[in-house]
Amino acid sequence: MINSRAAIYPGTFDPITNGHLDLIFRAARIFERVIVAVADSKGKTPLFNLEERVQLAEEAVSDIPGVEVVGFRSLLVECARSKGVGVILRGLRAVSDFEFEFQLAGMNRHLDNELETMFLTPSEKYAFISSSVIREIARLGGDISPFVTERVNAALVQKYSSLPR
């Protein structure tokens, strides 16, 4: 029997944005437990290391009941299993997300048939943002305050001020 009361929301979260948070808020109204699972995603060479991304996510969700954050370097299905979760949650912002999400969901089902992937759509306010767009604007000194928490904004400013342009 699938544990439908708990969901895992995986991603690279480099860094967590208000679009991710919008999805987490929605998920927390449906599931008793929501585990935000921050993937190492070495292949994406993230700007923030895993520990930094986990910390930023933890700070961002600290006020949302039933939400916890974990970092993982394993397969997602292993992380989900170790947490006793039955549902993988992903966000669909636009049709362009679908192909990748379809592949991911299919592969995760192949790896663990007991897990179901479910999709939520974020508010249209956030349909056009992504972590890489946010990073790019922050790197070039643009205003990202409508799209991230104050803490994430400060972390981006600090990170880019310590890196060569």
As measured in angstroms, the least distance from the Cβ of 132 to ligand COA is 3
Question: Residue 5 or 120: which CB sits closer to ligand COA?
Answer: 120
Contact 36, 57 (CB under 8 A): yes
Q: Is 11 a residue that touches ligand COA (CB under 6 A)?
A: yes
| Residues whose CB is less than 8 angstroms from the CB of residue 20 and which lie 6 or more positions away in sequence, other chains included | 9, 11, 13, 36, 91
Q: Can you tell me the distance from the alpha carbon of 108 to that of 68, in angstroms, rounded to the nearest whole number?
A: 22
**Where in 73-112 is the site for ligand COA (CB under 6 A)?**
75-76, 91, 93, 104, 107-108
Considering the candidates 26, 81, 93, 139, report the single residue annotated as catalytic: 93
Q: Can you tell me the distance from the alpha carbon of 53 to that of 70, in angstroms, rounded to the nearest whole number?
A: 10
Q: Is 15 a residue that touches ligand COA (CB under 6 A)?
A: no
As measured in angstroms, the least distance from the Cβ of 53 to ligand COA is 10
As measured in angstroms, the least distance from the Cβ of 61 to ligand COA is 14
- Tell me, what amino acid is at 53? R
Of 36, 39, 28, 37, nearest to 5 (Cα)? 28
Q: Counting beta carbons within 10 angstroms of the beta carbon of residue 89, is it exposed (0 to 12), middle (13 to 18) or buried (19 or more)? A: buried
Query: Active-site residues: which are they?
Result: 20, 44, 93, 131
Give contact residues for ligand COA (rule: CB under 6 A).
Answer: 10-14, 17, 19-20, 23, 39, 41, 44, 75-76, 91, 93, 104, 107-108, 122, 126, 129-132
